[in-house]
Structures are given as C-alpha cells and as structure tokens.
Copies of this chain bind each other. A is one copy, B any other.
Amino acid sequence: MKFDRNVYLSNIDLNEAKEKMLEKFALELYKPKTEILTVDDALDRITYKPVYARISSPYFNASAMDGISVIAKRTFGADERNPIALKINQDFIYVDTGDVIENPFDSVIMIEDVIYVDNERVKIIKAASPWQHIRPIGEDIVVSEMIVPSRHQINPFDIGSLLCGGITEIEVIKKPLIGILSTGTEIIEAEDKIEEGKIIDSNSRMFIAMTKKIGAKPNRYKPIIDDYELIKQRIVEATKENDIVVVIAGTSAGREDYISSIIKELGEIIVHGIAIKPGKPAIIGVINNKPIIGVPGYPVSAYIVFSQIVEPLIAEYLKTKEQKKEIVDAIISRRLVSSLKNLEFVRMKLGNVSGKLITTPLNRGAGVTMSLVKADGVAIINKETEGIEAGETIKIELLKDIDTINNTIVSIGSHDVIMDVIASLIAERNRQSSLSSAHVGSLGGIMAMKRGETHIAPIHLLDEKTGNYNTEYIKRYLKNQDVSIIKGVKREQGLMVAKGNPKKIKDVSDLVNDNIIFVNRQKGSGTRILLDYKIKELGLDSAKIIGYEREMTTHMMVASAVSSGSADVGLGIKSAAVAMGLEFVPVGEEEYDFVIHNEFLEEERIKNFIEILKSDCFASELKKLEGYSIENAGEIVAL
C-alpha cells in the first residue's frame, strides 16, 4: 500500500485548472468517437460531418394549382381576340395541385383561366409562360445540397428536412460514457435501511441525472468502502470501461483520502486543489489517457465540481456549443461576506418585489443539499472580493426560469408547515405561479419587509403589555410603512416531549429542573418571544434552563432534537410535534398572520394567495394537520 500521507492541496484558479485539463486531453478531443444512428434517434445529437441531400424535394415537378398542364410554346400568341384551342392528352391534361407534370408539358394554367369547350377540348385566351404554376424539383432541397453542417445539433425540423432529402441515417458524435464511483465505508444506498453513522449515497445518483441532462451516458458503479486496494482495482476497471471517470469522496488530504495517491500510482495528477468554495479538494487526473475527476463528498461541493469541471469536459467530448446560463442583475438584501482566497458559489433566493429583483443568500454549508433545491440562482463571487454590501447589485446565474421567478410569491418570516400546504395549493391551482418561503423567524420577517425583500412576512408576535398578537409589533417596527395584515390561522403552541412524556413535564415552569434538557428557538422568532414572555410571567430564571442557549431555526428542528433524544423538551407548534410522533403539552393558542405591503394587494399572485387562504381546500388540508383553527383566514386588516 503506497499511501502518501504528505499530500498538500494547491489553490489554483478554476479557469487555469480547466485550461490545464483541456490541454492535457487535446489530442483525445481532436478526433471524436462517432456512431451511425437513424435520423429519428439523432434528435439533439451533434453531426460529425455535413449531411448532404440524397434526393431532391420535391422529387418531381409538381403542379402548384388545380388546372391544366400545357406545352407553353403552343400557347404563345393567345389573347382575347385570338383564343387558342387545345386538345386533351395532346396539348393539355387536367392536373390537381401536387400532381406530377409529365413530359412534354412545361406549364400550368389555372382552371379559372380555362374555357371549357367539350370533353375533348378547351380554349385559352392568354399565353402561358414556361414553368408557371409549377413547383420545381428541388424547390425545397436539391440533391447534394448540404442540409446541416458539421457539429450541428439536430432538432425536430432538421429531422423533417433530412427525411425529405432522403436521409434516414446520420453519423453523430458518440455520447461519452461517464463512470461514476462513490467511495466511503459509511456510504449506503437510499434503498438500504438507514442507521446511525451511515450516509445515503445521493451524489452518484445526482451525477447520473446531470450526465443525462448534458447528453452523455452515465455508468454508475456500486459504492465501495474505503479500502485502498479495492478502490484502486475499481478505478483501473473504470478507466478501461469509460471515457471519463468521476470518483466521489476521499479527494482531500486526510487520513483516509486515498484518491490522489491512487491516481498518482496509476497515472498522473494534473490538478489537486482548486480555488473554489465549495469544492476546493477536487482532483483532475489522468490514467491511461482517460480523464479521472475526483469530487469531494459534501453534496454541494460535489455539485459545484461536477458542473464546473466535469460538465465542461463532457461538452468537449460531445462537441456541443457551450450553453451559457441566463444571468440577471439583482439587488442583494444583506451583506455577503466572502472568502478572499476562493471563487465562491453562493446559492441565492430571488424575488421580484416592487418590480425589482431582490436576492438573498441561502445556507452556505457544503452539506446542505436543500440550499440547491431552494436556490433560484447562484452568485459567483470573485476571489478578490472582500464582501458585498446590502443594496449592491450583483450578477446571479439563474437555476430557474426568470418568468417563474417573476411569478413567485416571496414569503420571509416565521416557519409553519402550513406554508408548504399553501405552496402546493398555489402550484396546483395555477402552474405559472409558486410560493417561495424562507424561515428566519417573525422579527426576521418584519426586517425583511422593511428592507423590501419580501411580499409577505408570516409572523406570530405576542405583545407583552397588551397580550395582543402582531399588531403592536408591526406598529413598532414598521411605523411609517403602508402595510396591512392578511389574517392567517390560529395555532396551538406547546411543549414537545417524547412519547409517554417520560420526564412528566406539565408546563413551562418545569424547564428549570436540572434533570431536564431544553432546546430553544433562535432570538427574534415568535416562539422564542412567547417563551421569554412565559418565563417572565412565571418569574423564572432562564440561566437555570439547561439548553436555553441551543437554538434551532424551525419547529421541525426542535421536534427533531427531542425525537432524537438530544433534548427532553422544546417549545413549538402542535403540527410539528404530531409530524414527528411526539407528545404535546399545550401552552396557548396564537395568531399566525401575514404582514403585507398594501401596494402588493393588487397583484394577481397576492390575490391568488388570499383566495387560497379563503378556500375550502385550504380548510380541509388544515384539518388533516392538528393544532390549527381558522376563523377569518384571508381577511385583510388595515392598520
């Protein structure tokens, strides 16, 4: 085992890495592999050579009118005073549109200009010029004419023209075969039973989809354990069987990161370590003239490296034109700190608010796959950038269609599972519309509204003095703003505890017991404000609550902490407790409403939103969940 523990990662620029890679494989790429396909199967494929017509289309001179075909010369001199008589089968024959013009006929006279004499004869009073009203052979395509050039991507109407030109098979660039291999002792298949310590292999199956989408052919291997010799053997096979090999995980410089050593043993490392974030510990190598790309195991890193390194390489094999992603300018709503040393790919939400595209960064963790699912685009932040200030305009590479983004309702604020219900109802009702929710707590939502980032802000904020929900906070924080409340739902808040309530927790006062571990929500969330209100009301000391400092950002995260046993109790909504199979000790009912700027009330998408809140479907969906009641959902309360 020649495992090299002294591996240091370089930090070279992405473009430099790509150039090194393409230079290395220039010879392989010069003469592409090809295959012959039927024209029908060649849809979306790239031609290897120009394709020339084998026959003309139309294949014959055809009448372009209903009428008679004549010999033009014999009609010369005809006029109203000197009509010329023509004899059937000798001087003329009747033709319909599309009929063949037989020799010796060379012209067509429209039936409207033909004077019927008897079954044998007609008269004409105007000469026919040669080839009038005839669709000539090759009007569309002449035999040997080029239909499509080299390196042309075949689309549906190309197929039509190729068939018209007598072409039924063409030579196209062969799809490169991409070997995809996950490594890691902890890796299991999604179909396997999950256990602690195990990680589902999602990367290789995401890569299958990415490979298909770019037009190459995926060839996935079963994940294998971290065993140097085993991985080496599989890599040897894979570089024989595929055109490009992608190995997932073990690409860094740690104890069990074997990939770079194996590539070094079998071939050559071209690049190890690229100045991108996420995705730095990527490897570009070569074994037997085949490219082998090492991709880090964190899913977002994996995605970035595949799209930035593997996809451009595949495109070179396929000879497709580079598909530039659509780029938009958007105003960033919060300061974005960036890493000076790396080109950074930050997943962003986008919303069209008051006619402006507003963008907000999502979770930047390389392990948070949902940051990609939720992203509308990616901000690519250059190395030298120290950070981007709120209010600056930045370029965003779109992951979604701009029309979709422009039709999306942006919601930023408190979390509730009903937001998912509403999102689905909106999408089912109108396929052009959608709802995008960010969960930053109630106060976070109010701040987002103040910054003009959002259409609506779901909140549930209890005023200590009046005991009122929401209105007092809006008056305090959105003083001079022209906002209203759209009434939402009433929901039960309470203590979420394990099944059977083993610690016998009855109310908030039990939280100070030193055998009870609590899990909290983040500051600014309505639930945290409710908790602190209750603590104050009961005269408790929060410093005595174990776990008071441990903050989660959603009800589901709190429920999950209780469910996993890492906490005994947390405060949250009943629907989250029920969803997670927990018991629920009610603390009170609260009002979960939506703040909205009045200017949005006239927008079609907001009208849709309000309609959904008032609808029977929404009411019946809520009944399936527990802990909600509806009184006046969708009602607008002016402030």
Hey, which bits of chain A sit against chain B, CB under 8 A?
39-40, 43-44, 49-50, 52, 55-61, 73, 96, 98-100, 103, 106, 129-131, 135-152, 155-161, 163-164, 166-168, 186, 190-191, 194-203, 205-210, 212-213, 255, 299, 303, 319-324, 365, 367-370, 372-373, 399, 401, 403-404, 417, 420-421, 423-425, 427-428, 431-432, 434-435, 546-547, 549-550, 552, 554, 556-557, 559-561, 563-566, 579-580
* Shortest beta-carbon distance from A48 to chain B in Å: 9
**Contact in complex: A136, B319 (CB < 8 Å):** no
* Shortest beta-carbon distance from A105 to chain B in Å: 10
A44, A195, A403, A423 interface centre (most CB from chain B within 10 Å): A423
- Minimum CB distance partner of A560 in chain B: B138
**Contact in complex: A428, B139 (CB < 8 Å):** no
- Minimum CB distance partner of A576 in chain B: B144
Q: List 24 A-B contacts (CB under 8 A).
A: A40-B209, A50-B423, A58-B199, A60-B197, A61-B566, A130-B546, A131-B566, A138-B557, A139-B368, A142-B554, A142-B557, A143-B560, A146-B420, A149-B424, A150-B425, A155-B213, A159-B209, A160-B202, A160-B303, A161-B369, A161-B370, A164-B369, A166-B190, A322-B432
* Shortest beta-carbon distance from A106 to chain B in Å: 7
A contact face: mostly helix, strand, loop, or mixed? loop
* Shortest beta-carbon distance from A377 to chain B in Å: 13
- Minimum CB distance partner of A404 in chain B: B321
* Shortest beta-carbon distance from A469 to chain B in Å: 25
**Contact in complex: A370, B147 (CB < 8 Å):** yes
Residues of B within 8 A of A564 (CB): 60-61, 137
Complex: A369 Cα to B163 Cα, angstroms: 10
Complex: A402 Cα to B345 Cα, angstroms: 25
**Contact in complex: A205, B423 (CB < 8 Å):** no
* Shortest beta-carbon distance from A37 to chain B in Å: 13
**Contact in complex: A139, B367 (CB < 8 Å):** yes
Complex: A36 Cα to B130 Cα, angstroms: 64
**Contact in complex: A156, B206 (CB < 8 Å):** yes
Complex: A144 Cα to B625 Cα, angstroms: 12
**Contact in complex: A206, B423 (CB < 8 Å):** no
* Shortest beta-carbon distance from A330 to chain B in Å: 19
Complex: A255 Cα to B111 Cα, angstroms: 15
